[in-house]
Amino acid sequence: MKSTRAAVCVLFLLLAAGCGASAEKRLIGKWRYDPVEAANPSLAEKAGKPAASAIAGALGGFNLQLVAEFKPDHTMMMNTTMLGRSLPSPAIPWKVIEEKGDTVVIETTDPHDEKLNRIELTLVGDDRLEFKSPKDGKTMTFTRVKESP
């Protein structure tokens, strides 16, 4: 009887653990990188977004913003806004090649030269996404864009 009860408890725990959304599913959506916030989050918070952007411009920044959108059809869009001008990318195919907890490794195909890229992304909660550059090891933190109803 005790072994049956223990087996049922273990099965329940395994099923409950599998009920959470996978990192791949949590990746779907729009993610924004703001270098002003990345450089000085307290400044952006205190000054407000428009004021922080103005400060960045006055300091010689390019008022740069990146928005990455991971779509359920496994395409990704990168929209770069610089000096108020939006520069969208073509659709970039992506696929998950490895998933470990909150970390997902995706493979993308560069639309310009068909080169394959491996990208490691770590989800921190539901609202932060960290990208560690394989070239220089620097981490860029993206925040989830909340869609208006």
Q: Write down the mean pLDDT value for the chain.
A: 76
Question: Is 46 part of any domain?
Answer: yes
Which domain covers residue 118, as residue numbers? Answer: 22-144
Q: Which two three-digit tokens encode residue 1?
A: 């009887």
For the chain, state the CA radius of gyration: 20
Which residues make beta-bridge pairs with 86? Answer: 81
- d(CA 33, CA 79) in angstroms, rounded, equals 10
Enter the pTM of the model. Answer: 0.68
pLDDT at residue 50, rounded to an integer: 55
Question: Is 92 part of any domain?
Answer: yes
Q: Which two three-digit tokens encode residue 110?
A: 């560069």
Q: 87, 81 in Cβ contact below 8 A?
A: yes
Q: What is the per-residue pLDDT across 93-148, written as a single tens digit (0 to 9) for each?
A: 999 999 999 999 999 988 778 888 899 999 999 899 999 887 888 888 999 998 77
**Number of domain units in the chain:** 1
- d(CA 65, CA 81) in angstroms, rounded, equals 5
Question: Is 55 part of any domain?
Answer: yes
Q: Which is nearest to 141 in space by CA: 31, 22, 29, 25?
A: 31
Question: Is 31 part of any domain?
Answer: yes
Question: Is 69 part of any domain?
Answer: yes
For the segment 39-62, the average pLDDT, to the nearest whole number, is 53
